């Protein structure tokens, strides 16, 4: 038995480590370690629900829309349960859908091209796909430029990126006119042309397998399919096997019917169960047996207290908690959403990945590519449905007492915020993030997380370079920034920052010839 430690895990969002037990060239056990304290919930206590949206919106600079929106949805739910709010207006629902759809395109491109794409590039894996080579490849560079266009589109609605300020309880703090919406649509169309038509996937797949490239069918589509073909040729379908259990909160709400474009539910034992919001909330618990938190920090998130550290737990190995649904670990993310929605466009997972519902490294990549196209094909429709003459914001009460839950689906998977409000002030707050579901620690029953189970059986031919394990970890698109934050030492410390200031001649910093700063000259 050989112990292998991967720390940090590279090309993921945030600091993470994994300890592997390797025997006869295979992983037989794994511990997934989140290395920073989680405490954003604590900061919200004693503040208003509007403050919580602003604070939690800063949790992560990668998925920088999801927490602000999920917090707003939790506050809205609490106010509606209190009978003090009727819900956001139609325009707000549509614009939230459209903005998150655009963000899906941006975030999936980041994952496919920058975080996992290099694993299947010519520079790293000798696949012949040099367009995927990091920094230098034409496909890599093209993806960066189109991500930039999507970010420009998002700033039209939120004012800045990251951490836009558009989402607030009650709707949106923005009122885009027809011209602004048309500018956003123009940028989305530009990116869509780079990506290529969805119906071209079979022809592009044949092109890539034959070493051909037809830009008229979409440069981006050829590159995305190249990632999938490269992964398939390197055996990604044979590694990273999960338990085939999936959970999704659902996303993209029809403002008229309240139906979700990608539905809410779970998949287990070979069956899809479409569930109500109440059924989802009732089924979730968090376990802290192997986390550096007190027992009171776990349990049902509708009751548990904000995270309280317990550094003396001998068997703890992670700052992440262990979320479970009906006591079971659940995979979340694009694969979960498409399995529950019964979507496998062009049967790619069925034919390349060993089955449409199979959890493995390749199918996670295929599902992300499929979802990119599925969502791309809807975004313009959501934008078209917005009527700039109608309101984007409804009056939201300053003072109410109620409990609420916000359920959402960022690109990485199921996210939920839980809030208790008393007379307009937050008394309790909890967050469960997608990365906790996928790469948290074991629970009190010894049940591993999805990642800890998925890497078992992965081959480790070279303990100095466990490439298969790294590819499996990255296939989940982990984001530690959402899952854990930072813990300050008990001791006090002070940092003095000397701000730069212009001198008489416009210099920054110290002025030449000892001239006094401008502020001394009236």
DSSP 335: H
63 annotated ligand-binding residue: yes
In this structure, what are the phi and psi dihedrals at residue 25, rounded to the nearest 5 degrees? 75, 15
* CA separation, residue 493 to residues 38, 309, 488, 497 (Å): 21, 21, 10, 13
CA distance 114 to 137: 11
Q: Is 479 annotated as a binding residue?
A: yes
Q: Which residue has the tokens 């590159």?
A: 223
Q: What are phi and psi of 195, to 5 degrees?
A: -65, -50
- Alpha carbon dihedral 254, 256, 257, 261, in 10-degree steps, equals -10
Task: Give 100's Cβ-side CA count (13 Å radius).
Answer: 26
Token readout for 336 is 């979960």
**Would the annotation count 66 as a binding residue?**
no
The SS3 assignment for 18 reads strand
Rg (CA), the chain: 24
Confirm whether residue 60 is marked as ligand binding: yes
CA distance 467 to 464: 9
List all residues 6 or more positions away from 307 whose beta carbon is below 8 Å from its beta carbon: 37, 38, 39, 41, 42, 293, 297, 321
Cα–Cα distance between 70 and 430 in angstroms, integer? Answer: 12
CA distance 62 to 134: 19
The answer to whether the annotation marks 511 as part of a ligand binding site is no
- For 337, phi then psi, to 5°, come to -60, -45
Please state the residue numbers annotated as binding site for Mg(2+). Answer: 41, 431, 485
Please state the residue numbers annotated as binding site for Fe cation. Answer: 63, 482
Please state the residue numbers annotated as binding site. Answer: 41, 60, 63, 431, 479, 482, 485
Please state the residue numbers annotated as binding site for Ni(2+). Answer: 60, 63, 479
């Amino acid at each position: 038995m050989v112990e292998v430690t991967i720390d940090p895990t590279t090309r993921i969002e945030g600091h993470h480590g994994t300890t592997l037990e390797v025997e006869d060239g295979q992983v037989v056990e794994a511990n997934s370690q989140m290395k920073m304290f989680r405490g954003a919930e604590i900061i919200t206590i004693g503040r208003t629900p509007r403050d919580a949206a602003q604070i939690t919106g800063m949790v992560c600079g990668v998925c920088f829309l999801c927490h602000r929106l999920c917090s707003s949805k939790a506050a809205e739910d609490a106010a509606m349960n209190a009978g003090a709010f009727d819900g956001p207006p139609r325009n707000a629902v549509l614009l939230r859908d459209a903005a998150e759809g655009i963000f899906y395109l941006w975030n999936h491109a980041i994952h496919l091209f920058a975080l996992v794409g290099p694993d299947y590039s010519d520079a790293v894996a000798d696949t012949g796909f040099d367009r995927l080579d990091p920094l230098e490849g034409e496909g890599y560079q093209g993806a960066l430029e189109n991500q930039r266009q999507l970010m420009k589109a998002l700033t039209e609605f939120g004012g800045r990126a990251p951490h836009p300020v558009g989402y607030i309880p009650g709707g949106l703090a923005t009122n885009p006119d027809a011209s602004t919406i048309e500018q956003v649509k123009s940028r989305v169309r530009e990116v869509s042309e780079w990506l290529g038509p969805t119906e071209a996937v079979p022809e592009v797949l044949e092109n890539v397998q034959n070493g051909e490239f037809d830009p008229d069918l979409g440069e981006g589509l050829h590159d995305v399919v190249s990632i999938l073909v490269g992964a398939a040729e390197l055996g990604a379908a044979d590694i990273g096997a999960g338990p085939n259990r999936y959970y999704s909160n659902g996303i993209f709400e029809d403002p008229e019917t309240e139906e979700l474009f990608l539905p809410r539910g779970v998949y287990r034992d070979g069956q899809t169960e479409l569930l109500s919001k109440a059924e989802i909330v009732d089924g979730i618990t968090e376990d802290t047996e192997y986390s550096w938190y007190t027992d009171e920090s776990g349990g049902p998130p509708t009751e548990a207290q904000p995270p309280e550290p317990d550094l003396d737990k001998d068997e703890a190995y992670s700052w992440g908690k262990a979320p479970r649904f009906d006591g079971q670990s659940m995979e979340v993310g694009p694969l979960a959403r498409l399995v529950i929605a019964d979507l496998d466009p062009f049967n790619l997972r069925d034919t390349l990945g060993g089955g449409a519902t199979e959890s493995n490294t390749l199918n996670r990549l295929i599902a992300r590519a499929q979802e990119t196209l599925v969502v791309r094909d809807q975004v313009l429709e959501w934008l078209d449905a917005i009527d700039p003459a109608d309101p984007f914001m409804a009056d939201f009460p300053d003072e109410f007492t109620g409990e609420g839950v916000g359920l959402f689906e960022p690109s990485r998977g199921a996210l939920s915020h839980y809030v208790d409000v008393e007379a307009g002030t937050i008394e309790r707050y909890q967050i469960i993030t997608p990365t906790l579901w996928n790469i948290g620690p074991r629970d009190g029953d010894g049940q591993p997380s999805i990642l800890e189970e998925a890497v078992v059986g992965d081959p480790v031919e070279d303990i100095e370079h466990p490439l298969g394990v790294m590819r499996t970890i990255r296939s989940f698109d982990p984001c530690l920034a959402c899952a854990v934050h930072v813990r300050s030492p008990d001791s006090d410390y002070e940092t003095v920052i000397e701000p730069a200031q212009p001198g008489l001649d416009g210099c920054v910093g110290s002025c030449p010839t000892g001239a006094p700063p401008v502020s001394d000259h009236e």
